[in-house]
């Protein structure tokens, strides 16, 4: 593969080696194999369902433990809001209030999204702000509604279509509107606070850095006073070195019209590098748009404490066993006890040949299995929401493990695999609590636990030309494939994403 001088300068500026590009092109040529589903994870076989008493005990354990721990809330927040407003952009392109009534437009197009929008738009947190800004500018109610959307979306108005989702007004508090950023501060004070301080880290787009700083300057003091919490807020950007090369349909390097190589962002899996740079005992991970109004906050906070309490309980046992494995003398009975712990508490599966191995070989395997980061992941009952789900998978070499799998990773032409996919009872709401240190207090290098075979290849277009793009293994998918994993059923109220603007009309986002 030949790189010209301009290519080499471009690679150097992004921190990407020639070897990495060659490796990615080879991946395009070979393709990324589908995962092999063994079975869906269900209650009592991969997913824990805790009793009320167990949850109460875990909340107490977490509350008792936090004073000596460093806690962090890690929030992927780099998503732009443009997809959230797809229906509104379409409406501006296709509706003309001077030639058609809104009622006739909705009937003609069958646009259910805009009907829901206008039926409830007085309940949006931004309604008064926008309505006041267009006052007196319309000659009819229909034109007023058109101007409302135009003022919301376009650059000469409030430009919401190009805002980071984390800075949009989500929740109406009467005298102010709270953004997801502010609500994450509120949440952190409930379950990610130790000794009066909460630490948060947001991964954002570099061009939005100033906006996030301004938002914290604006709302930080208000939340601090209300919650009696001081906040340390950090930011990082997705690294240019995690961008992936694009190729044409014949797997040749795709070039832009100026001759430069086309690189594309590697997806949220790139954030494993940002996560690896954090150093805390307990790390909560939750998406930027998954927030609630105060009446649901206690339920959400308690659910997070349950997951964190379980993490600390299991981690304490894992640390004791890891230390025991480093002892000079260890009995066969102790080895069986450690193996049983790994199987029953951390869902580790062993080869059927394990018992035939020597003591030395067994110790080596057990050390490898127990000295890993741990993640406890909330799972919500499947009610038709999109998203990955919990499955037992087989890597083709007989190794069985518990994973979060997206439908794009499954061969939809294989009937048996599709049946397993359909049999999933739960889905992944992105609700994780993580421990990233070993029993000596040393942080793991998280990049050592990524399964690079779990990326995605997709087809895109650029300047009218077809191309192939690659996403890195997802942050909670292949990027955490070799972590020790526990899945726990959590209440549906913990999952309230805002994928479209109309989701803000749901009860979890309404204070009224």
Q: Per-residue pLDDT tens for 6-32?
A: 999 999 999 999 999 999 999 999 999
Report which of residues 423 and 386 the model is more confident about: 423
Give the pLDDT score at 82: 84
Give the pLDDT score at 380: 96
Give the pLDDT score at 474: 93
* Same domain assignment for residues 393 and 495: yes
Residue 130's alpha-carbon distances to 137, 158, 179, 421, in angstroms, are 12, 8, 16, 44
Phi, psi of 485 (to 5 degrees): -130, 135
* Same domain assignment for residues 307 and 392: yes
**Which of 124-128, 221-225, 269-273, 461-465 is predicted with the least confidence, judged by mean pLDDT?**
461-465
Give the CATH number, domain containing residue 438.
3.90.550
Does pLDDT of 78 surpass 90?
A: no
- 54-66: average pLDDT: 96
Residue 53, classed as helix, strand or coil, is helix
Contact 7, 31 (CB under 8 A): no
- How confident is residue 94, by pLDDT bands cut at 50, 70 and 90? very high
Q: Please, is 480 exposed, middle or buried when counting C-beta atoms within 10 Å of its C-beta (0-12, 13-18, 19+)?
A: buried
Residue 207 belongs to a domain: no
* Same domain assignment for residues 470 and 433: yes
* Same domain assignment for residues 269 and 156: no
User: Could you give the dihedral angle defined by the CA atoms of residues 53, 55, 58 and 59, in that order, rounded to the nearest 10 degrees?
Assistant: -110
- How confident is residue 365, by pLDDT bands cut at 50, 70 and 90? very high
Give the pLDDT score at 239: 93
Residue 228 belongs to a domain: no
- How, if at all, do strands 71-76 and 282-286 pair? parallel
* Same domain assignment for residues 352 and 474: yes
Give the pLDDT score at 158: 95
- 297-316: average pLDDT: 98
* Same domain assignment for residues 11 and 146: no
Does pLDDT of 80 surpass 80?
A: no
- 378-383: average pLDDT: 92
| Gyration radius of the chain over CA positions | 25
Does pLDDT of 496 surpass 60?
A: yes
Final residue of a structural domain among 127, 162, 197: 162
Describe the crossing of helices 297-325 and 359-370 by its angle, rounded to 10 degrees.
150
Domain count, the chain: 2
Give the pLDDT score at 387: 61
* Same domain assignment for residues 93 and 11: no
Integer Cα distance of 431 and 283 in angstroms: 11
* Same domain assignment for residues 141 and 105: yes
- How confident is residue 57, by pLDDT bands cut at 50, 70 and 90? very high
Residue 125's alpha-carbon distances to 120, 466, 510, in angstroms, are 11, 40, 9
Residue 194 belongs to a domain: no
b/e per residue 37-57 (b: at least 16 CB within 10 A): bbebbbeeebbbebeeeebeb
Give the pLDDT score at 386: 55
Q: What is the pTM of this model?
A: 0.95
Residue 190 belongs to a domain: no
* Same domain assignment for residues 268 and 380: yes
- 440-453: average pLDDT: 96
- 315-319: average pLDDT: 98
Name the DSSP letter for residue 45: B
Residue 224 belongs to a domain: no
* Same domain assignment for residues 354 and 399: yes
Describe the crossing of helices 297-325 and 332-345 by its angle, rounded to 10 degrees.
160
- How confident is residue 384, by pLDDT bands cut at 50, 70 and 90? low
Final residue of a structural domain among 162, 193, 225: 162
Residues 6+ positions from 78 with CB-CB distance below 8 Å: 164, 203, 204, 205, 208, 237, 238
* Same domain assignment for residues 453 and 499: yes
The CA-to-CA distance between both ends of the chain, in Å, stands at 61
Residue 493 belongs to a domain: yes
- 75-87: average pLDDT: 87
Residue 333 belongs to a domain: yes
Contact 285, 74 (CB under 8 A): yes
Mean pLDDT estimate for the chain: 94
Give the pLDDT score at 383: 79
Residue 287 belongs to a domain: yes
Final residue of a structural domain among 162, 181, 199: 162
Domain residue limits at 141:
82-162
Residue 202, classed as helix, strand or coil, is strand
- Spell out where 8-116 has E strands: 36-40, 42-43, 46-48, 71-76
* Same domain assignment for residues 314 and 452: yes
How many residues make up the chain in this entry?
Answer: 512
- 187-193: average pLDDT: 96
Residues 6+ positions from 441 with CB-CB distance below 8 Å: none
């Amino acid at each position: 593969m030949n790189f010209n001088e301009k290519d080499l300068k471009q690679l150097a500026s992004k921190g990407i080696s020639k070897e990495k590009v060659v490796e990615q092109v080879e991946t395009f040529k070979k393709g990324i194999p589908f995962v092999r589903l063994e079975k869906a994870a269900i209650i009592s076989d991969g997913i824990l369902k805790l009793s009320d008493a167990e949850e109460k005990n875990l909340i107490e354990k977490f509350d008792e433990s936090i004073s000596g721990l460093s806690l962090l809330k890690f929030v992927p927040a780099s998503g732009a809001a443009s997809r959230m407003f797809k229906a509104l952009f379409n409406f501006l392109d296709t509706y003309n209030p001077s030639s058609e009534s809104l009622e006739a437009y909705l009937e003609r197009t069958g646009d259910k999204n805009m009907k829901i929008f206008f039926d409830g738009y007085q309940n949006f947190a931004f309604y008064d702000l926008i309505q006041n800004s267009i006052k007196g500018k319309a000659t009819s109610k229909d034109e007023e509604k058109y101007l409302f959307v135009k003022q919301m979306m376009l650059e000469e108005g409030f430009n919401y279509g190009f805002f980071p989702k984390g800075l949009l007004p989500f929740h109406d508090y009467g005298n102010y509107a709270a953004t997801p950023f502010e609500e994450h501060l509120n949440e952190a004070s409930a379950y990610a606070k130790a000794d009066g301080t909460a630490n948060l880290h947001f991964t954002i787009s570099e061009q939005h850095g100033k906006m996030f700083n301004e938002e914290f300057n604006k709302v930080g003091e208000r939340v601090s006073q209300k919650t009696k919490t001081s906040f340390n807020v950090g930011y990082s950007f997705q690294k240019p070195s995690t961008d992936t090369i694009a190729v044409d349909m014949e797997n040749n390097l795709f070039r832009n019209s100026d001759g430069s190589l086309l690189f594309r962002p590697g997806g949220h899996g790139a954030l494993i590098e940002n996560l690896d740079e954090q150093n805390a005992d307990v790390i909560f991970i939750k998406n930027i748009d998954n927030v609630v109004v105060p009446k649901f906050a206690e339920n959400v906070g308690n659910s997070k404490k349950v997951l964190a309490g379980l993490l600390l309980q299991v981690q304490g046992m894992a640390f004791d066993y890891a230390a025991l494995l480093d002892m000079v003398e260890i009995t066969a009975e102790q080895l069986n006890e450690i193996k049983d712990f790994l199987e029953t508490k951390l869902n580790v599966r062993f080869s059927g040949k394990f018992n035939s191995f020597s003591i030395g070989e067994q110790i080596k395997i057990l050390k490898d299995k127990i000295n890993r980061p741990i993640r406890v992941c909330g799972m919500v009952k499947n009610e038709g929401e999109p998203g990955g789900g919990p499955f037992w998978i087989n890597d083709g070499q007989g190794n069985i493990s518990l994973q979060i799998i997206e439908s794009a990773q499954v061969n939809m032409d294989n009937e048996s695999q599709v049946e397993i996919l359909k049999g999933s009872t739960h889905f992944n709401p992105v609700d994780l609590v993580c421990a990233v240190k070993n029993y000596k207090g040393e942080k793991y290098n998280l990049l050592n636990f990524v399964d690079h075979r779990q990326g995605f290849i997709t087809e895109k277009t650029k300047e009218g030309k077809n191309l192939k793009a690659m996403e890195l293994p997802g942050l909670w998918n292949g990027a955490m494939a070799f972590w020790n994993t526990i899945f726990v059923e959590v209440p549906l109220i913990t999952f309230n994403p805002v994928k479209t603007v109309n989701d803000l009309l749901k009860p979890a986002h309404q204070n009224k």
